[in-house]
């Protein structure tokens, strides 16, 4: 794309799709959004002005960040905004409309991609039409490219639509690092969540066909992700097995007991060990084993109780095998309940949009979602919130190599949100 300003939201989505950036490396994405919001007259809060830097979770290594920044520069990200980010991705744009006497409305979209290789064959539209990922092991496989495009679409529409009667203040939150629940918490710990009257987050797809709107998509499981490292001592497994301190035995003990954390009568809980690597040769006692663990709970308290139990098991699995343990919180999300008044606004807004053919008031999200931290913060301060499901027919499941979205849903998303924002002033 020559410049973002000349592109429509489908083109923008396709451009972002071609240059996917994973959590905390959304340099190009942030810079492009910043350029467009700047043009539209928004006040910009970039990088450390949008994120409580010290509370970021699951930040990649300095090397990875530097590499990603270089890649963004090579892919024509506007230098001005890259400079202003100062190494930290994420952006909040704020603008007063009309006489400014109306409510303050927040909208949050997320921008990050996944570590996964996109399908390259012609049965996959992005490949066939030439906008598949340029990066071998990164992919927008969850629709956040579309969310970002919708965010820009909202800004443009409110600007250009003469009929729009919105006379309050709009804050657009372009959140980094949603995957793994890493960016929601640090974004919620900024002053930007204060004085918000209405707050909306959104998600495309999730099994909902184009034309369906879920006005109050809520009650996700709370979630926490731990990075775990067991460090023992290597030894020759034939000559002196007793000299080893076996990190892999510690991990196996942990796995057996983690899945066996008792079920809870207060509600659903979850536990998983998704990743494990332990790389010694066959004849060497395992000296270093890394795991990625995840817990969930129907409530924040259940999630905390799972996290406590997991940590206790990890500590004693390590001590039992005389190995050291390091754990680091990789990501976290909590749960929330949408506010009826916010749900009502979305429901009414959606009913005015032509291409919407089904509106569901409330439904439970199966997945976890770190917009929960922003929503909790706004609600704590008295604002009303909901999370909106925007139906978007998918060719394949989220997080898979053939994931793609029906792009007609982008405009529906823009329309529903613009109507919603406008109606906040009316209610």
**Which positions lie near its own copies, rule CB under 8 A?**
115, 180, 221, 223, 225, 236-242, 244, 246, 248-249, 251-253, 255-257, 259-260, 262-266, 268-286, 289, 292-294, 296, 305, 312-313, 315-317, 319-322, 330, 366-368, 399
CB distance 88 to 48 below 8 Å: yes
Of 256 and 352, CB closest to its own copies: 256
| CA distance linking residue 80 with residue 31, whole number of Å | 8
Rounded Cα distance, 94 and 179, in Å: 25
Least spacing, CB of residue 281 vs its own copies, in Å? 5
Please say which residue, 134 or 236, places its beta carbon nearer to its own copies.
236
Q: If residue 142 lies in a helix (H) or strand (E), which one and from where to where? A: none
Decide whether 104 or 289 has the Cβ nearer to its own copies. Answer: 289
At its nearest, how many Å lie between its own copies and the CB of residue 78? 32
- Complex with its own copies: residue 6 or 265, whichever CB lies closer: 265
Start-to-end C-alpha separation, the chain: 40
Diameter of the chain measured on Cα atoms: 82
Rounded least distance, CB 200 to its own copies, Å: 23
We find the least distance from the C-beta atom of residue 398 to its own copies, in angstroms, to be 9
Which residue's CB is nearer to its own copies, number 104 or number 249?
249
Find the shortest distance in angstroms from Cβ 143 to its own copies: 16
CA angle 67, 63, 32 (to 5 degrees): 35
Which position has the token pair 């906040």? 424
Instruction: Report, in Å, the least distance between residue 13 CB and its own copies.
Output: 24
- Of 188, 220, 189, residue with least CA distance to 203: 220
325 versus 350: smaller Cβ distance to its own copies: 325
* H or E segment and range at residue 56: none
**What's the min distance (Å) between Cβ of 262 and its own copies?**
4
Nearest to 13 by CA among 142, 116, 187, 147: 147
Residue 265 CA to residue 305 CA, distance in Å, equals 12
Based on CB atoms, which residue is closest to its own copies, 128 or 364? Answer: 364
**Pair 158, 166: CB distance under 8 Å:** yes
Q: What are phi and psi of 357, to 5 degrees?
A: -120, 0
């Amino acid at each position: 794309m020559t410049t973002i300003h000349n592109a429509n939201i489908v083109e923008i989505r396709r451009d972002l799709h071609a240059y996917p950036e994973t959590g905390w490396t959304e340099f190009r994405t942030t810079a492009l959004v910043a350029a467009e919001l700047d043009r539209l007259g928004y006040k910009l809060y970039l990088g450390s002005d949008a994120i409580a830097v010290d509370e970021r979770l699951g930040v990649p290594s300095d090397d990875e960040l530097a590499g990603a920044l270089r890649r963004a520069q090579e892919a024509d990200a506007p230098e001005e905004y890259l400079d202003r980010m100062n190494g930290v991705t994420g952006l909040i744009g704020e603008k007063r409309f009309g006489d400014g006497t109306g409510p303050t409305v927040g909208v949050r979209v997320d921008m990050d991609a996944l570590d996964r290789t996109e399908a390259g064959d012609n049965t996959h539209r992005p490949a066939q039409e030439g906008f598949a990922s340029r990066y071998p092991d990164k992919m927008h496989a969850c629709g956040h490219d579309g969310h970002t495009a919708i965010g820009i679409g909202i800004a443009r529409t409110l600007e250009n639509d003469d009929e729009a009667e919105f006379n309050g203040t709009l804050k657009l939150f372009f959140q980094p690092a949603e995957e793994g629940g890493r960016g929601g918490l640090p974004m919620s710990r900024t002053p930007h969540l204060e004085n918000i009257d209405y707050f909306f987050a959104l998600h495309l797809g999730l099994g909902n066909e184009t034309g369906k709107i879920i006005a109050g998509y809520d009650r996700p499981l709370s979630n926490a992700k731990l990075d775990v490292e067991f460090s023992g001592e290597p030894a020759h497994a034939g000559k002196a097995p007793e000299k080893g301190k076996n990190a892999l035995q510690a991990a196996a003990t942990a796995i057996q007991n983690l899945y066996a954390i008792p079920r809870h009568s207060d509600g659903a809980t979850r536990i998983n060990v998704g990743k494990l690597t332990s790389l010694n040769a066959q004849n060497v006692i395992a000296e270093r084993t890394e795991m990625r663990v995840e817990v969930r709970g129907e409530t924040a308290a259940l999630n905390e109780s799972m996290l406590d139990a997991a940590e206790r098991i990890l500590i004693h699995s390590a001590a039992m095998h005389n190995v050291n343990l390091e754990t680091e919180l990789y990501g976290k999300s909590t749960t929330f309940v949408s506010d009826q008044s916010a749900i009502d606004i979305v429901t009414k807004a959606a009913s005015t949009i032509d291409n919407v053919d089904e509106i569901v008031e409330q439904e439970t999200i199966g997945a976890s979602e770190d917009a929960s931290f922003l929503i909790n913060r706004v609600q704590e301060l008295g604002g009303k919130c909901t999370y909106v499901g925007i139906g978007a027919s998918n060719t394949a499941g989220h997080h898979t190599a053939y994931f793609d979205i029906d792009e007609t849903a982008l405009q529906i998303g823009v329309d529903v949100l613009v109507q919603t924002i406008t109606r906040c002033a009316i209610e």
